[in-house]
């Protein structure tokens, strides 16, 4: 059963977005949200996998997130050697450093926007497009 409180952490008034009222979930104007996904690189023998796991935990256990790298959620895929991390960050090089820290993984970093922000932007461009003169 879903935890209702967890589902209501962020209520979005989509009617206000549709009406064009300002709404944004961005924490700072100069930051962006990024979804980082990772998978373990193919290794060799089971012993090499075990060594890689040990090293990953040693390195990651000593890492401290920089002030401009705000982790919003961090999850592992069940039964898999990878996961997802949603961060708010103002510097792509900070993301690159994070991904370079653990060479046993392959990383994909994608910029993302909250649904409410995307809907607002889509409505703005739709209104502009609808106002174009037909030639």
Per-residue pLDDT of the chain (135 residues; tens, 9 = 90+): 333 333 333 444 445 544 555 444 544 567 899 999 999 988 888 898 889 889 999 998 999 999 999 999 999 999 988 999 999 999 999 999 999 999 989 999 999 999 999 999 999 999 999 998 887
CA 105 centroid distance within chain: 17
pLDDT reported for residue 68: 96
Buried b (16+ CB within 10 A) or exposed e, 107-126: bebeeeeeebbebbeeeeee
Residue 13 covered by a domain: no
Q: How many domains does the chain have?
A: 1
Whether residue 87 lies inside any domain: the answer is yes
Residue 32 lies in a domain: yes
Cβ-Cβ contacts under 8 Å for 121 (sequence gap 6 or more): 113
Which residues 6+ apart lie within 8 Å of 95 measured at CB? 34, 36, 69, 87, 89, 109
Q: Is residue 106 part of a domain?
A: yes
What CATH number does residue 72 fall under?
A: 3.30.70.920
Residues of the domain holding 57: 28-130
pLDDT of residue 21: 53
pLDDT at 42: 86
Question: Is the C-alpha dihedral spanning 42, 44, 46, 49 positive or negative?
Answer: negative
pTM for the model stands at: 0.70
What's residue 30's pLDDT?
Answer: 76
Q: Are 89 and 35 in contact (CB under 8 A)?
A: no
């Amino acid at each position: 059963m879903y935890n209702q409180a967890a589902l209501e952490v962020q209520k979005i008034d989509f009617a206000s977005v549709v009406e064009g009222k300002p709404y944004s979930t961005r924490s700072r104007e100069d930051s962006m949200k990024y979804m980082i996904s990772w998978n373990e690189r193919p290794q060799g023998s089971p012993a090499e996998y075990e060594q890689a796991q040990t090293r990953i935990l040693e390195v990651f256990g000593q890492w401290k997130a920089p002030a401009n790298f705000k982790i919003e959620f961090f999850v592992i895929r069940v039964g898999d050697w990878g996961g997802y991390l949603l961060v708010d960050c103002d510097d792509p090089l900070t993301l690159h450093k994070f991904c370079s820290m653990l060479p046993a993984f392959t990383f994909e970093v994608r910029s993302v926007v909250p649904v409410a922000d995307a809907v607002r932007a889509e409505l703005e461009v739709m209104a502009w497009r609808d106002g174009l003169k037909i030639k």
